[in-house]
Chain A
């Protein structure tokens, strides 16, 4: 079954194409890395899939649902490289709000475990907008994983994370993958690419590689055109 499907998906900013018509299917349970130079269209593609950006043309489906629909939002968890937080809630209150809106019954034990794993258990009552870059990323990770999902979209997850944070995140990815969730991870961390089953590479908004990471030199793929 296709978890993420795009059909002639296109995005232009003014006259500048950010993503050329892209047709793509990501099967359920796949672990996919998305690479490309800065400005290659990775974040644009991810945001359109998350329903946060309207395509100029074409369509995106999450499962059988249009991206951005309520059903798609239930299936998809989005972890941004620039996470935003409410300025009036503590991290714990954020976790409660997100988890309960997604109908997680045992959210407290789940949240406690997540905070412990990312090393934020001492900061649970603090306002995350006051956190440093790395701590904000950890807080965003805990928010992305506190709710159920079938598809996880992640944009530059390792930026700002310390080594324990990276290890915790890799473990969470692994566990989600074992649970059968589909993972699409946009990254510049080329060492991570070895751990995925499928590699997608974008250059100047066009797809230049779609296949196994073992069959290519990933360093060539991330060079600008």
Chain B
């Protein structure tokens, strides 16, 4: 600031034709410029460029969890130091308690983002009812992103495998119990999605089917996020032997990695088609919504069961393959 209180620019002193400072002495003579330079942290810039490089790499590797973490770091989005609420005493089991503690520290920016995803999902579902079937993809993506945001306790467990593997509980059981608190946290977002749908449709006839279908759809849609988080987790059932995936298969694996979670979310969103069909043929929309809700709940339960049993299934499969290899070796040696 100068004497009149106006901000002083770096180039307010003597400059050459290109508008640059004449020499370092001009800079040194300007205390405001020196102060400004002192506030410009080269460390922060270097850190940012390093984060961007990592982000590019993570995008190339289609590693969604890393992309999300790096985006949060770039945006300086930190967990709240002071939680929105204390964990109620009646939540007695340590894993849901840990989940509530996590959700209670969501930063405002994440809550705003989640609200937007939920509202958009509702709007897209209303568009499907009105006949724009491809809007299902929009709903699926919104619910998938909502799932990735809300499943923070699960993601944290997946991010810290050393800590997980020190706890006296099987990993599948631990991970599935981490779904409880985020599932409860999704209730208000299901309400937001429902309001989004009803407002877009502009008719009170939509209230009952929406009330029935909103929460199951949001839960099952968010299960797509769960699939993505758990599939990206380090695999504790892997032995030291490196799995050699041929390049031809790598493309399929990558496509599955991205596509399967979205497919799960899309299946959840597709339950709205039952209601649309009922509207078209003049049967009960409420009945169709109930059938859709049951389907969505079954889908969410199936994903939960997969999370619970995945490690066991993979271990059994590896054992089966290993036994087969041993048997083949034995047969060859006897020939």
A1-9, A48-56, A113-121, A205-213 - interface stretch: A48-56
Q: Cβ of B165: which chain A residues have Cβ within 8 Å of it?
A: 51-52, 68, 73
Interface set, chain B 30-76, CB cutoff 8 A to A: none
With A88-B79, A88-B153, A88-B156 known to touch, is A98 a contact of B167 (CB < 8 Å)?
yes
Determine chain A's interface SS by DSSP, over half rule: loop
- Which residue of chain A is the closest to B94 with respect to CB atoms? A100
B156–A73 CB distance below 8 A: no
Interface set, chain B 66-114, CB cutoff 8 A to A: 79, 81-82, 94-95, 97-98, 101-102, 105
A74–B168 CB distance below 8 A: yes
- Number of A residues near B (Cβ < 8 Å) is 28
Shortest CB-to-CB span from A11 to chain B, Å, is 8
B22 interface residue (CB < 8 Å to A):
no
Interface set, chain A 75-89, CB cutoff 8 A to B: 78, 80, 84-89
B101–A93 CB distance below 8 A: yes
A97–B79 CB distance below 8 A: no
CB-based A-B contact count at 8 angstroms: 68
- Number of B residues near A (Cβ < 8 Å) is 26
A25 interface residue (CB < 8 Å to B):
no
B153–A97 CB distance below 8 A: no
User: Interface digits, B146-183 against A, CB 8 Å rule (1 contact, 0 not)?
Assistant: 00000011001101101101111110000000000000
Q: Cβ of B169: which chain A residues have Cβ within 8 Å of it?
A: 70, 101
A110 interface residue (CB < 8 Å to B):
no
Q: How far is it, in angstroms, between the C-alpha of A70 and the C-alpha of B236 when the chains are bound? A: 14
Q: Cβ of B160: which chain A residues have Cβ within 8 Å of it?
A: 84-86
A102 interface residue (CB < 8 Å to B):
yes
Option from B81, B168, B239 in Cβ contact (under 8 Å) with A73: B168
Shortest CB-to-CB span from A55 to chain B, Å, is 8
Q: Cβ of B156: which chain A residues have Cβ within 8 Å of it?
A: 86-89
Q: How far is it, in angstroms, between the C-alpha of A136 and the C-alpha of B275 when the chains are bound? A: 54
Q: Cβ of B166: which chain A residues have Cβ within 8 Å of it?
A: 50, 52, 73, 78
Q: Cβ of A90: which chain B residues have Cβ within 8 Å of it?
A: 101
Q: Given A73-B165, A84-B163, list of 17 further CB < 8 A pairs?
A: A51-B165, A54-B239, A54-B240, A86-B156, A87-B79, A89-B101, A89-B105, A93-B98, A93-B101, A96-B94, A96-B98, A97-B95, A98-B167, A101-B94, A101-B95, A125-B82, A127-B79
